[in-house]
Amino acid sequence: MLDNLGNRFQEIFKKVRGNGVLNESNIKDALKEVRLALLEADVNYKVVKEFVGKVKEKAVGETVLKGINPAQQFIKIVHDELVELLGGTNARLTKANKPPTIIMLAGLQGAGKTTFAAKLAKFLKKKGEKPYLVGADIYRPAAMKQLQVLGESIGVGVFTIEGSQDAVKICEEGITKSKEEHATYIILDTAGRLHIDENLMDELKEIKKMARPQEILLVVDAMTGQDAVNVASKFNETLNIDGVVVTKLDGDARGGAALSIKAVSGKPIKFIGVGEKLEDIELFHPDRLASRILGMGDVVSLVEKA
């Protein structure tokens, strides 16, 4: 499967040779393949349309370089454009002028927020920071317990109020407690919710208003389909998020939803989750995800070398 797209491009560009020029007619089929590949990768339909338009604009009129074939050149154009779309200017976590830095997590049910909260705590702890976890999921059975178990396993403090009905209050008291403990980072884990659930979206707004976090991260499952755009725009509208975390990239989903989310929200992807264990967290690399979305790792590095 992996190199299929590459092979198809080779086939398509057979007639174009060195010093030939890419034009509308000879890239037409190639653009169709790109469209298909992106749709198969779950990139939102409208995002695909816009993207293909951009690639066309970039490719038409390019002279094929000596030494590489037109297929490779076209791939490079597509790939570079994808990297640019995926890449953010600032993928770092914002730090508070004076510690603690408060990071708030939000997202749909089961996306991987609680796991990521613990992963991030572990990641920060390794860097010499003192993170603290606050569990504000008052709905899901044993959600607080889950965070406690995870916190304990990495030696990070966890604050929750068992049986509480008030997520905002948990966050408020959690922040106070974390400050007493001289935490440098406070991570707020919230309950999973649907973007169309007005009450629960309001709860997030309230938490934000009270906590005034430096970072609000939207946690998204890499397997999400076309609806990712609706989810991202609604969370972004409600919270004005600062970044995105894409989880479960250890699976074989191509992860096109990430591109959709970046496109609709304009917010950078900051971390990825690559497993269930707490060390399975990585900084985001746009070039790797670009190759993955296209379903071709090797072809690109080949071009890079040429």
Ligand X SMILES: Nc1nc2c(ncn2[C@@H]2O[C@H](COP(=O)(O)OP(=O)(O)OP(=O)(O)O)[C@@H](O)[C@H]2O)c(=O)[nH]1
Residues forming contacts to another protein in the complex (CB under 8 A) are 36, 39-42, 44-47, 50, 108-112, 139-143, 145-146, 148-150, 153, 194-196, 221, 223-231, 233, 248, 250-254, 256-257, 260, 263-264, 276
Sign of the dihedral through C-alpha 168, 169, 172, 175: negative
Which residue, judged by CB position, is nearest to ligand X in the bound state? 192
Give whichever of 81 and 280 is closer to ligand X, judged by the CB atom.
280
Amino acid 88 reads G
Burial 289-305 (b: 16+ CB within 10 A, else e): bbbbbbbbeebbebbee
Binding part of the chain for ligand X, among 4-12, 65-73, 88-96, 269-277 by CB under 6 A, reads 269-277
* Residue 280's binding partner out of ligand X, another protein, Mg ion, none, with CB under 5 to 8 Å set by partner kind: ligand X
Residues within window 182-241 making contact with ligand X, judged by CB under 6 A:
191-192, 194
The SS3 assignment for 63 reads: strand
Question: In the bound complex, what is the minimum distance in angstroms from residue 158's beta carbon to ligand X?
Answer: 14
* Residue 274's binding partner out of Mg ion, another protein, ligand X, none, with CB under 5 to 8 Å set by partner kind: ligand X
Which residues contact residue 45 at a Cβ distance below 8 angstroms, ignoring those fewer than 6 apart?
Answer: 39, 226
Binding part of the chain for Mg ion, among 26-34, 91-99, 109-117, 292-300 by CB under 5 A, reads 109-117
Question: In the bound complex, what is the minimum distance in angstroms from residue 140's beta carbon to ligand X?
Answer: 5
List phi, psi (to 5°) of 67.
95, -30
- Residue 269 interacting with ligand X (CB under 6 A): no
Task: Give, in order, the Cα–Cα distances in Å from 147 to each of 175, 187, 228, 259.
Answer: 16, 11, 26, 29
* Residue 227's binding partner out of ligand X, another protein, Mg ion, none, with CB under 5 to 8 Å set by partner kind: another protein
- Residue 114 interacting with Mg ion (CB under 5 A): yes
Residue of 34, 280, 293, 299 interacting with ligand X (CB under 6 A): 280
Q: CB–CB of 101/94 below 8 Å?
A: yes
Angle ∠(112,117,178) on CA atoms, nearest 5: 155
Q: Which residues pair with 157 in a beta bridge?
A: 132
Give the residue carrying structure tokens 């967290």.
281
Binding site for ligand X (CB under 6 A): 107, 109-115, 137, 140, 143, 191-192, 194, 247-248, 250, 273-276, 280
Binding site for Mg ion (CB under 5 A): 113-114
